[in-house]
Amino acid sequence: MMMYSKLVSLYEDMQSTPKRLLKTYYLSEFLKKVEIEDLDNLINLIRGKVFSEQDKEKLGVSSKLIVKAISISTGMSLREVEDEWRRTGDLGLVAENLVGKKKQVTLFSTKLSVKKVFDNLRRLPLVEGLGSVEKKLNLIAELLTSAKPLEAKYIVRTVLEEMRVGVGDGSIRDAFVWAWFDKEIGLTYDKEANNIVFDEDKRDVYNEYVALVERAYNMLNEFREVAKLCKQGKKALGRVGIKINKPLKVMLAQKVEGIDEGFKKVGRPARIEYKYDGFRMQIHKVGDKVTLFTRRLENVTTQFPEIIDYVKKNVSGKEFIIDGEAVGFDKKTGEYMPFQKISQRIRRKYDIKKLSEKLPVELNVFDILYYQGKSLIEEPLENRLEKLRKILKETPKKIILAKGIITEDDKTAEKFYKDSLNAGEEGVIMKRLDGPYKPGNRVGGWVKIKPVMESLDVVVTGAEWGEGKRSSWLTSFKIGIIDEAGELLEIGKVGTGIKELESEGAVTFERMTELLKPLIIEEHGKEVIVRAEVVIEVNYEEIQKSTNYSSGFALRFPRVARLREDRGVDDASTIFMVEEFFKKQKR
């Protein structure tokens, strides 16, 4: 059983350097010593999480509760804890400092194990009902009482889900390769030069292992599962296949400028389809059970009862996984509606039936990944479409195949693109006809063409309370994008485009405040820092170079276009995209 102090040393090591490779090295050295039984708990904690994205539970502990827990465990008054919080602005540091000051000698306190920390934290969302606040408080205070100062800091940061050790998902994937396949690759890390060194010419072998780990991750979407497979070896890792009811990452499209560039990327002839503006939906069916996942792989089965019904009635087969886009339409005119009008359906927990009648969706199916026990993702798109046609009974305004053509001709393709825009769609997606379905991949044979300047999906990392009659709302937002390792980079601030009053589909200050308030982790006067969870789509006039923000870029005249409640931090726009858009606009 691993002691928590060991994990804390890892956090400290990783936090001590901004160098990505060095962080990866620390992590890989740590992982080499971990027993397989410990991996489950550890992998999540290393990522600064107690629950992973697919777990239904959410931690949801407020800063207030933590202040109380620190007070109880250190014997300091609430005032003293709050003063220290104001002084340092960081509850993790508060815990570290105050536990350090604690007078009573804790000779008899037991040493904390990783398991104990994990178990207590995991129980937090499970306590419910009368006295639940008290019970939560005890679970945290118990840990803090046994903790050394540094341990206390990381316990608090874990509970707040704000680790600040700066290890992104990309580094974690690399660390798996370094830790468990270093012998096969002959890999060593040169600390002096901050460089990785391979035996002879093993770079290809290294890339092969990275791809293998990535593939397994895209199929399973659970780092802890992938870690266990790596530990078992290459064979186990390579055997990973599709599992029904376990969502796999969706395939994505790369942006191109026009039909011509599109053909260059995907070849001729190509499949060209309408690009619908709705929710991505990955649908799994086994027997009578239908399960719906969003692009972020959140389970939204209960929110869309009509889709369950359409799939059961109109798609034949006992077991399958299909992929498509659910698009809202106006009940009276039958016209499609933009995404923001129906976005509320994703989060809705009550009156679901009513809402589904008011804001109905049509499912536009464009792919099939699995059928009757057999994975189809390696099959060419052409064959997958053929299969879909055979098993799907099209019923307009319920379930249809995404509208598309197969052509090698520029003119026909251009006309289809125009038709799509005239029909009110966003543009088209061009797909390589003989291409496989590549989970999680943006450069795997699909490209998108849209006439409008590409917007950015940015993560809100902070905000400011408004003035005067807006003082109860957060009104100005700090925004960020992500780097290749999933770390956040600032790109500026945005406040315009948000409405004061509710109108259908509009982003309002009220809604933003409602979403962000529970995520506040620090307050400095009018400014707050929030846990990075909320994603908004922004338009802008231009991307400019800037030294003010850590991304190295800023947006000229940014405007909030819509809330992307279907997206999470890892769906945010990347620095790579911003660099591409920057280059393109200069041309």
Quote the CA–CA distance of 374 and 211 in Å, as a whole number: 23
Three-state DSSP string of 429-457:
EEEECCCCCCCCCCCCCEEEECCCCCCEE
Output 282 or 475, the one with its CB closest to ligand AMP. 282
Output 39 or 342, the one with its CB closest to ligand AMP. 342
Output 254 or 508, the one with its CB closest to ligand AMP. 254
- The answer to whether residue 275 is catalytic is yes
Quote the CA–CA distance of 82 and 161 in Å, as a whole number: 20
Structure tokens at 499: 């409405």
Instruction: State the nearest-atom distance from the C-beta of 252 to ligand AMP, in Å.
Output: 6
Quote the CA–CA distance of 505 and 510 in Å, as a whole number: 13
Q: Which residues bind ligand AMP (CB under 6 A)?
A: 252-253, 273-276, 280, 295, 325, 366, 402, 429, 448
Instruction: State the nearest-atom distance from the C-beta of 58 to ligand AMP, in Å.
Output: 24
Q: Which of 62, 117, 115, 118 is nearest to 91 (CA)?
A: 62
Quote the CA–CA distance of 396 and 400 in Å, as a whole number: 6
Quote the CA–CA distance of 88 and 391 in Å, as a whole number: 61
Strand-pair category, 254-255 with 446-449: parallel
Instruction: State the nearest-atom distance from the C-beta of 5 to ligand AMP, in Å.
Output: 43
CA distances from 520 to 506, 514, 515, 527, 587 (A): 23, 11, 10, 10, 41
Quote the CA–CA distance of 295 and 571 in Å, as a whole number: 9
Output 271 or 285, the one with its CB closest to ligand AMP. 271
Structure tokens at 331: 């009940």
> 476 by DSSP, 3-state: which?
strand
Instruction: State the nearest-atom distance from the C-beta of 571 to ligand AMP, in Å.
Output: 8
Quote the CA–CA distance of 325 and 365 in Å, as a whole number: 6
Q: Which of 586, 564, 320, 352 is nearest to 457 (CA)?
A: 564
Output 84 or 273, the one with its CB closest to ligand AMP. 273
Output 74 or 282, the one with its CB closest to ligand AMP. 282
Output 174 or 367, the one with its CB closest to ligand AMP. 367
**DSSP-assigned beta bridge partners for residue 407:** 270
Instruction: State the nearest-atom distance from the C-beta of 281 to ligand AMP, in Å.
Output: 8
One-letter amino acid at 583 equals: K
Instruction: State the nearest-atom distance from the C-beta of 276 to ligand AMP, in Å.
Output: 4
Instruction: State the nearest-atom distance from the C-beta of 51 to ligand AMP, in Å.
Output: 25
Q: Which of 231, 275, 285, 438 is catalytic?
A: 275
Eight-class DSSP state of 203: H
Measured between alpha carbons, how far apart are the two ends of the chain, in Å? Answer: 58
Quote the CA–CA distance of 5 and 436 in Å, as a whole number: 46
Q: Which residues are catalytic?
A: 275
